[in-house]
Structure 1
Amino acid sequence: MATTRTAQTEWEGDLLKGTGEITLDSSGVGHFPVTWASRAEEANGKTSPEELIAGAISSCFSMALSNSLAKAGTPSTLLTTKAAVSFQPGTGITGIHLTVEGQVSGIDEDTFREAAEEASVNCPVSQALTGTTISLTSALA
């Protein structure tokens, strides 16, 4: 079954001094303030498109890796994935780095790394970001 998720942003003012609010409509989990300064400088309690992409890719990757490990007969006990999305004003998103640590019984470091690399390429969010450099660091706990 196909699903569609929605979010919206209301923006007031110009780019540099304006403010916005992102609303996650489908889940209803919240409203998140955003400004140019929170995107290009310090977060100061506000989010950014890049932080939202980091959340999307870290969760998608974790799901893909979890599924791959389970299908291989070595389900994970715990996967902890951090995504760092780099943004350069005037250039855009310059890269994404995933760091994953896993607790997986019956698997060696090389097999875990291979599964993680496959998941980083095959998760739907990674595929949606084709053209963006995505790097990966993996380790078993």
Structure 2
Amino acid sequence: MKFTRRASANWKGTGMEGTGTVSTQSTVLNQTQYSFKTRFADGVGTNPEELIGAAHAGCFTMQFSFLLNEAGFTADNIDTEAKVNFEDGSIVSINLDLTATIPNISDEQFQTIAAAAKEKCPISRLFKTEITLTAKLA
């Protein structure tokens, strides 16, 4: 499978006082606001780090589901939170926190599949930072 996805950003003004928008090809994000305040403080809008977290959580969760299916399991529910840790101008780590309800799976099988999903997830493979995983079977 081969494809390209598009996203764009626009910025007006200085780094601290300026404002910008981000948009995606799907239009789920359509001129969504971001700014210094939404990135480094609290404000209405998004920021690059939370978008990375959303992409990573979504990709990992889908990869986990595919690997579960390959092993003969189907989850009733999968929740993943990605915590993107920013320090001194760099993303220093990402913590994936997985909780899932999966009938008839052992904790050992669950942990093995979760670890494989972390390694195979295309977004995980993109980053050159530490990625940790905590996995809980509900």
TM-score range, shorter chain: over 0.9
Residues 20-31 of structure 1: matches in 2 within 5 Å? Answer: 20-24=20-24, 26-29=25-28, 30-31=30-31
Counterpart-to-counterpart distance in 1, 2:21 and 2:8: 8
Which residue does 1:71 correspond to in 2? 70
Give the aligned CA root-mean-square deviation in angstroms: 1.1
Partner residue, 2:48: 49
Percent identity for Structure 1 against Structure 2: 34
- Asked if structure 2 preserves the Cα contact closer than 8 Å seen for 1:76 and 1:104, the reply is yes
- What displacement does 1:54 show? 0.7
Q: TM-score, normalised by structure 2?
A: 0.93
Unaligned runs of 5+ in 1: none
C-alpha separation between the residues in 1 aligned to 2:131 and 2:115?
10
Name segments (4+ residues, structure 1) moved above 6 Å.
Answer: none
Aligned residues: 137
CA distance in 2, matches of 1:59, 1:4: 17
Query: 1:59-98 alignment to 2 at 5 Å?
Result: 59-88=58-87, 90-98=88-96
Post-superposition Cα deviations, 1:98-117, rounded to whole Å, max 9, x if no partner, equal 11111111111222112111
Question: Where does the alignment leave 5 or more consecutive residues of structure 2 unmatched?
Answer: none
Q: For 1:96-115, list aligned pairs within 5 A.
A: 96-115=94-113
Please report the TM-score for the alignment, with normalisation by the length of structure 1. 0.92
- For residue 14 of structure 1, give the secondary structure of its aligned residue in structure 2: coil
Residue matched to 2:136:
139
**Equivalent runs, 1:24-39 vs 2, <5 Å:** 24=24, 26-29=25-28, 30-39=30-39
